[in-house]
Amino acid sequence: MSAKQIMYQAVHYELVASALAVQTGKSINPEFNIGCMIAMCPIYPLTCAPNDMMMATKAMHRRYWFTDVHARGYYPQHMLNYFCQERIQPRYHTRR
């Protein structure tokens, strides 16, 4: 397993643990407001050239996706595409 594969697998487990914590909190009190906090710095393009703008946008997508999963409950398509391009295959386990 590559270092990238291990990293994204660990992130997947972290996201699952967060979702389970939200479910547990809501089972205790459905009125609870539970969210996430992300510590990150934005990425700005070096210039307004289209290539720089696209690179910055793609880099921000790779930062925002954590929040996308927390808020929406699923992986955004751009990350699924990235996983495919990089041959990263997180293992998704289902609860029985």
Q: Quick one: pLDDT at residue 20?
A: 92
Could you state, in order of their start, the residue ranges of all structural domains in the chain?
3-85
Q: What is the dihedral of CA 36, 14, 65, 2, to 10 degrees?
A: 160
Q: What is the dihedral of CA 4, 53, 42, 82, to 10 degrees?
A: -20
78: which 2 tokens?
A: 């751009």
Question: What is the rounded average pLDDT for all residues in the chain?
Answer: 90
Report how far residue 42's alpha carbon sits from residue 59's, in angstroms, rounded to the nearest whole number.
9
Q: Quick one: pLDDT at residue 79?
A: 92
Arithmetic mean of pLDDT, 68-82: 91
Highest mean pLDDT among 25-29, 41-45, 64-68, 70-74: 25-29
Backbone angles phi, psi at 22, to 5 degrees: -65, -45
Q: Quick one: pLDDT at residue 23?
A: 93
| pLDDT at residue 94 tops 80 | no
